[in-house]
Amino acid sequence: MIQTLRTAASLALAALALGASPARAADTGPIVLGVPTALGTIEGQDSLRAAKLAVEEINAAGGVEVGGVKRKLEIASIDTREAEAGVPVLDALAAMEKLIDEKKPAAIVVGSFRSEVLIPAMDVIAKYKIPYLCTIGMAPGFEPKIAGDYAKYKYNFRLGLSAPYLVGNIAKTMGFIHQKLGWDKMYFVHQDVAWATGTAGGVAKLSAAAGWKVLGNDAYPTGSRDFSSSLTKAKAAGAQVIVPIFDMPESGVLVKQARSMKVPALIAGFISPAAPATSWATFNGEIGGLVNFLFEPGSIPLKTPRSEHFYQAYGKAYGEETLRKMSGHGPGPSYDSVYVLAAAIRRANSLAPDAVVAQLEKTDMDGAIGHITFNKNHQVPFGDDPKKEAVTLAFQWRDGKRVVVYPESVAQSHIEAPR
Amino acid sequence: MSSPGRATRRERIDRGIKVRSDEIFVLASARDLAWVLLPRALAVAALLLFPLLGARVGPYWQTVMINTMVIALLALSWDLLASVGLISLGQSLFFGLGGYVAGALDSFAGLGPLWSIPLATLLGAALATLVLYPLLRLRGVYFGLITFALPLLFMRLIETTGALGGTEGVSGLTPLPNRTVEIYLVTAAALLTAFAFRRLIATDYGLVFHAVRDNERSVMAAGFDVQRVKAQAVFLAALPAAFAGAFVTHRYQFVGMTAFAMEYSTLPLTAAVVGGPGSFLGPVVGSFILVPLSEAMREFGSLRVVLYSLMLLVFTVGLPEGIFRFVARKYGQFERRVAIEEAPDGR
Amino acid sequence: MGGLLASTLVYGLVNSVVLLLTSLGFSLTFGLSGVANFAHGGLYLLSGFLCWLLMHRVGLPFPLAAAATVLLVGLLGAAIYRTVLMSVRGIVLSEVISTFAVGVAIVEFFRWKGFTTYDFTLPALVDGSVDILGVTVDWQRLLIVALGLALTGLLWLFTHRTMVGLALRGMSQDEYTALSVGIESDWAATLSLGLGSALAAVAGIALLPLGIISINIGYDVLLIALAVTVLGGLESTTGLILGSLIVGFAMVITGNYVGPRWSEVVYLAAIVIVLAVKPSGLLGKSKELEDRV
């Protein structure tokens, strides 16, 4: 106890000393990029890895030139623990504030994991005024908030997928199924959180307009482990497609239970535990036929130089095993966010937040997730052509392999009906 | 330790001044007064001067200070409940109610923090009392279990009904003017609560609280309505916790489901256990150890939760009286070694 | 909607037994030694990961790994009593806090060690499924029902028909008399902690194959165990069964007829209401004036 107290005291003193001497020597030192995110989750871990990879690549090429000086980049990360049960949003914000106060980052990449944290985090960013390039949190409220008060929230950008674009892409995939397989009965099962509710509702609306009959739309609280009621109803009503929208590990039960209850429908939607390449083994091959979305390319690369480069470099840096486990949400845009930021700093020739923001808005470059630009609300548009915009992939599990089935511009095959 | 050949043991003797200040209440000299007052005065002065250091400590440690005070308020609330024998495992209930009332008042009624914080303190405490009232007959583990479940119920209710912002919460609330105001506000609240509770428990009214804890039947026999006493204790205990919720809501301009998060229950509980329950100053001391320590360990991610639960374990089992009592006892006594006479070759 | 009714019946029963099995260990320990073992969820999670590690890192076949897990977790439970609980025995608050701390430490340790990926599953004991009343149920769930009922029965026999079981119950009913006939209090409590923990491991190994092992299960399981035992009345086997049935069916009925999003609210509300009306649980021994546990 005495020892720990002593350590705490010396830490406190060290912090005092740091606070007392303003970091003036930083003009030639490394440019710090903050990564405050949920490092206990695979999305968080993989995103941090991807951002670090980009930083190493840029440093190996000499760094970023600002005001005539080549400066290296440096990542400072902190675990906000925001995905853990019982951790308050405010504690996650406190972690972010700690990172900003102590490490004085020039910008933040990756950012909040949960939508519930992302939205109030924008207020913290408004207070500190540093560029914030978010890649995981999918809150639908992000764009409206920037649109509502541009001057205050202009420091926020998002390279990761946002719920409205996911809605568009799932709906298009459904249209595809409707056309190719002639099906028209669907059933929604989703997690009871804002982004999933919004996504399911949005897809249901668009699909209904496109000729689908929506038989049901059930919300399950986070952590649920019994999906029999929806599966029974879906089976009884003769649903041909079940659309699950979940990012909780427990949703793995849904896949297994649908199989054991012999529900004949195709499962097509988003189930996080069935996305990585290793999940075939995890589920003993019982996920054959499942259609899942990769929110952003990365884990499955696009056929573009940047995307394939990222895939290979990631494998080389972290090993085959880590590459196979790579999450379908986070790493791609996180890797790109560092490049986007570096380019903006180079063009601005300064670290002044407003100058960097102005240059970020002019971003127009190829990345691992497709072509990157920002719309007027600072969101990267996601569509189906990697030459024009970032893309979302849908793949189908077949014999232990993930076969890309959407969008058509990169698809390897068509969606097949379950056996 | 022991000198060769002669076994010794430690002997503790109360300092004379401790005997006088405890029992007789006659403090003769300036020295005596200083002995009694100095620790308190120093602590209070340090707390009041801290915000003036301003930029010298940096914004981060100011934040830590605020968090410490917030946890201290919740721990004080826990301690008052414990003094009527109600062991709460769900302090986040009070915190969350205070936070949501403040959020609702600010967002829907447009009252600023000047009105919403005091109102939320009162309303939040009243609501908490109302919710707990039918459950006050429960004792021991049962009361603990129900307080553990209640914040989760509220969380699920908000999640399911989508009321008050649902899972997204209510954001963009009116902020407090600046950090100095924040620190002074929360420090003043914590000091006020600590000393008010200490005073309260020493009065005849407070004596009934302890009596309810120790023997409900005799309190009934004395003609008191136990249910009423408990309800009053819950209301009083809920005040600082609801204030903490309202304060934090305005500080982060946000209130969400996680205002009912388990961490607002476990941290105060740990602080109270580490500092020493029953003394009101103990929980404050506990917060001052726990919160900065857990901040310093933030880099370790989940490991810090492992470490602080182990700390909780060690204190519960190894030093149940808590640090505050332990130190206070040492302060009031001196020790010397005396020879053990009847054991010739040691033990 | 006949199919829905049948499904409600079948899955209501399955769900009830899942809850029963989840909370059996917690209830047994509480009934026999009066210790509310808040490390129950942590031990449940631990047994899942331990079994997985024994299979994939040590290379044991599943049955052996499962048996070893039950044994090791049982021993750990006994060790928790010997090292931690013995010195705070009888102080309810300290018992709860210290076991809770142990539980949190276990759960967060696995999180820290990175057991958050989607790689952890246990194999089902039996594959395939069968139709009952026109509802398709898999054998694993049926096996869980059989296991849950059999274990409950066995435990009842153990506590009511064997010398050891009677000794344990004697200790929980009247400690002084039990001491005077030569039953050792610490021995009884060690045994009850060990048994309760081993049951948590059995539950984990039987239930986790239904999905994948995720960290937060550690907290959920504790809550379920609390809810079910409190509802029926602590220390009562019939109460435990009744509690599981009420919560289990309430969740499935709300899920089927109101909407799955309400199911968790319903069971939490059930506990609060029952306790407000009947403080000692549905079948607990109610006392008028005080000492309602």
What DSSP assignment string belongs to C80-146? HHHHTGGGGTT-HHHHHHHHHHHHHHHHHHHHHTTTTSTT-----SS--EEEETTEEEEHHHHHHHH
Listed residue (C65, C85, C66, C89) closest to C77, CA to CA: C85
Q: pLDDT: is A10 or A363 the higher one?
A: A363
Containing A183, the helix (H) or strand (E) segment is none
Residue B323, phi then psi, degrees to nearest 5: -65, -40
pLDDT surpasses 60 at B328: yes
Whether residue A95 lies within 8 A of chain B, CB to CB, comes out as yes
Evaluate whether residue C129 is within a structural domain.
yes
d(Cα B324, Cα B271) in Å, to the nearest integer? 11
3-state SS class at A415 = coil
Highest mean pLDDT among A192-206, A331-345, B212-226: A331-345
Mean pLDDT over A299-325 rounds to: 90
**Do B313 and C269 make contact, defined as CB atoms within 8 angstroms?**
no
Mean pLDDT over A376-390 rounds to: 89
Question: Which CATH number does the domain housing residue C112 bear?
Answer: 1.10.3470
pLDDT at A54: 95
pLDDT surpasses 50 at C216: yes
pLDDT at A73: 93
Give Cα separations from C239 to A96, C193, C281 (angstroms).
Answer: 47, 20, 8
Chain C residues touching B153 at Cβ < 8 A? 265, 268-269, 272
Task: Sketch the domain layout of chain A as residue ranges.
Answer: 29-161+302-380, 164-294+392-406
**What domain range includes position C84?**
2-277
CB C36 within 8 A of CB C192: no
pLDDT surpasses 60 at B327: yes
> Which CATH number is A164-294+392-406's, of 3.30.830.10, 3.20.20.70, 3.40.50.300, 3.40.50.2300?
3.40.50.2300
* Burial group, residue C287, by CB count within 10 angstroms (0-12, 13-18, 19+): exposed
Above pLDDT 70, what percent of chain B?
Answer: 93
pLDDT digits (tens, 9 = 90+) for B89-130: 889 999 999 999 999 999 888 888 889 999 999 999 999 999
pLDDT at B162: 79
pLDDT surpasses 70 at C287: no
Residues linked to residue A293 through DSSP beta bridges, in sequence order: A394
Minimum-distance CB partner of C259 among A219, A232, A279: A219
Whether residue B186 lies within 8 A of chain A, CB to CB, comes out as no
Instruction: Please state whether beta strands A393-398 and B170-171 pair in parallel, antiparallel, or not at all (unpaired).
Output: unpaired
**Do B141 and C108 make contact, defined as CB atoms within 8 angstroms?**
no
Exposure string for B271-281, b = 16+ CB within 10 A, e = fewer: bbbbbbbbbbb
pLDDT digits (tens, 9 = 90+) for A132-159: 999 998 888 889 999 999 999 999 999 9
Minimum-distance CB partner of C279 among B82, B137, B217: B137
Between chain B and chain C, how many beta carbons pairs sit less than 8 Å apart? 123
Whether residue B257 lies within 8 A of chain A, CB to CB, comes out as yes
The residue in chain A having the minimum alpha-carbon distance to the alpha carbon of residue B170 is A120
Evaluate whether residue C105 is within a structural domain.
yes
Minimum-distance CB partner of A282 among C119, C216, C220: C119
Orientation of helix B281-296 relative to helix B322-331, angle to 10°: 120
pLDDT digits (tens, 9 = 90+) for C162-184: 888 888 888 877 778 888 888 88
pLDDT surpasses 70 at A275: yes
Q: Of A85-89, A262-266, C154-158, give the lowest mean pLDDT range.
A: A85-89
Chain A residues touching B63 at Cβ < 8 A? 94, 97-98, 101
Q: pLDDT: is A101 or B101 the higher one?
A: B101
Q: Which two tokens stand for residue B288?
A: 């001052």
Mean pLDDT of chain A: 86
- Tally of structural domains, chain C: 1
Q: pLDDT: is A332 or C261 the higher one?
A: A332
pLDDT digits (tens, 9 = 90+) for A76-99: 999 888 877 678 888 888 889 889
Rg for chain C (alpha carbons), in Å? 19
Whether residue B259 lies within 8 A of chain A, CB to CB, comes out as yes
Whether residue A9 lies within 8 A of chain B, CB to CB, comes out as no
d(Cα C98, Cα B126) in Å, to the nearest integer? 32
pLDDT surpasses 60 at B3: no
Whether residue A23 lies within 8 A of chain B, CB to CB, comes out as no
Q: Which two tokens stand for residue A415?
A: 């969606």
CB A193 within 8 A of CB B167: yes
Mean pLDDT of chain B: 85
pLDDT surpasses 70 at C264: yes
Rounded to a whole number of angstroms, the distance from the CA of A249 to the nearest CA of chain C is: 6
Q: pLDDT: is B230 or B330 the higher one?
A: B230
pLDDT surpasses 80 at B19: no
Between chain A and chain C, how many beta carbons pairs sit less than 8 Å apart? 120
Q: Which two tokens stand for residue A300?
A: 């499955």
pLDDT at C285: 62
Which 8-state DSSP code applies to residue A244?
A: E
pLDDT surpasses 60 at C289: no
Which of B66, B155, B171, B247 is best to mutate for the A interface (most A CBs within 10 A)?
A: B171
Give Cα separations from B113 to B118, B176, B179, C114, C278 (angstroms).
Answer: 8, 7, 14, 42, 41
The count of other CB atoms within 10 Å of the CB of residue B247 is: 27
**Do B160 and C96 make contact, defined as CB atoms within 8 angstroms?**
no
d(Cα B89, Cα B143) in Å, to the nearest integer? 8
Q: Of A370-374, B130-134, B164-168, C210-214, give the lowest mean pLDDT range.
A: B164-168
Whether residue A84 lies within 8 A of chain C, CB to CB, comes out as yes
Domains observed in chain B = 8-339 (1.10.3470)
Chain B residues touching A39 at Cβ < 8 A? 301
Q: Of A203-207, B43-47, C250-254, C270-274, give the lowest mean pLDDT range.
A: C270-274
The count of other CB atoms within 10 Å of the CB of residue A27 is: 11
Orientation of helix B263-275 relative to helix C92-112, angle to 10°: 120
**Do B138 and C275 make contact, defined as CB atoms within 8 angstroms?**
yes
pLDDT at C130: 82
Chain C residues touching A299 at Cβ < 8 A? none
Chains that touch C (3 or more CB pairs under 8 A): A, B
Rounded to a whole number of angstroms, the distance from the CA of C289 to the nearest CA of chain A is: 36
Listed residue (A66, A12, A86, A127) closest to A359, CA to CA: A66
Q: Of A122-136, A140-154, C86-100, give the lowest mean pLDDT range.
A: C86-100
**Do A120 and B156 make contact, defined as CB atoms within 8 angstroms?**
no
CB B154 within 8 A of CB B265: no
d(Cα A118, Cα A116) in Å, to the nearest integer? 6
d(Cα C150, Cα C24) in Å, to the nearest integer? 12
Specify the amino acid at residue C29. Answer: T
pLDDT surpasses 50 at B1: no
Mean pLDDT over B84-92 rounds to: 90
Chain C residues touching A85 at Cβ < 8 A? 216, 219
User: Over C182-249, what HEC string results?
Assistant: CCCHHHHHHHHHHHHHHHHHHHHHHHHHHCCCCCCHHHHHHHHHHHHHHHHCCCCHHHHHHHHHHHHH
pLDDT at B141: 76
The residue in chain B having the minimum alpha-carbon distance to the alpha carbon of residue C259 is B160
Q: pLDDT-based confidence at C293, cuts 50/70/90?
A: very low
pLDDT at A49: 94
pLDDT surpasses 60 at B41: yes
Containing C4, the helix (H) or strand (E) segment is helix C2-33
In words, the CATH class of domain A29-161+302-380 is alpha beta
Mean pLDDT over B127-155 rounds to: 87
Mean pLDDT over A396-402 rounds to: 89
Which 8-state DSSP code applies to residue A272?
A: G
d(Cα B235, Cα B84) in Å, to the nearest integer? 12
pLDDT digits (tens, 9 = 90+) for B171-189: 778 888 888 888 899 999 9
Evaluate whether residue C283 is within a structural domain.
no
Listed residue (B342, B181, B331) closest to B250, CA to CA: B181
Mean pLDDT over C234-256 rounds to: 85
Q: pLDDT-based confidence at A17, cuts 50/70/90?
A: very low
d(Cα B242, Cα B249) in Å, to the nearest integer? 11
pLDDT surpasses 50 at B296: yes
pLDDT surpasses 50 at A128: yes
pLDDT digits (tens, 9 = 90+) for B190-244: 999 999 999 999 898 989 999 998 888 888 888 889 989 999 999 999 999 999 9
Q: pLDDT: is A51 or A247 the higher one?
A: A51
CB C284 within 8 A of CB C239: yes
Mean pLDDT over A277-297 rounds to: 85
Q: Which two tokens stand for residue A248?
A: 């909780």
pLDDT at C53: 94
The residue in chain B having the minimum alpha-carbon distance to the alpha carbon of residue A193 is B167
Q: pLDDT: is B259 or A8 the higher one?
A: B259
Rounded to a whole number of angstroms, the distance from the CA of C259 to the nearest CA of chain A is: 7
Establish whether the linkage from the previous residue to A407 is cis, with ω within 30° of 0.
yes
* Chain CA centroid to CA A213, Å: 30
Evaluate whether residue C218 is within a structural domain.
yes
Highest mean pLDDT among B223-227, C42-46, C184-188: C42-46
pLDDT at A18: 43
Minimum-distance CB partner of C4 among A40, A192, A232: A232
What DSSP assignment string belongs to A305-321? HHHHHHHHHHHHHH-HH
d(Cα B262, Cα A77) in Å, to the nearest integer? 25
**Do A226 and C251 make contact, defined as CB atoms within 8 angstroms?**
yes
User: Over B190-207, what HEC string results?
Assistant: HHHHHHHHHHHHHCHHHH
pLDDT at A419: 62
Exposure string for C227-242, b = 16+ CB within 10 A, e = fewer: bbbbbbbbbbbebbbb
**Do C210 and A253 make contact, defined as CB atoms within 8 angstroms?**
yes
pLDDT surpasses 80 at A4: no
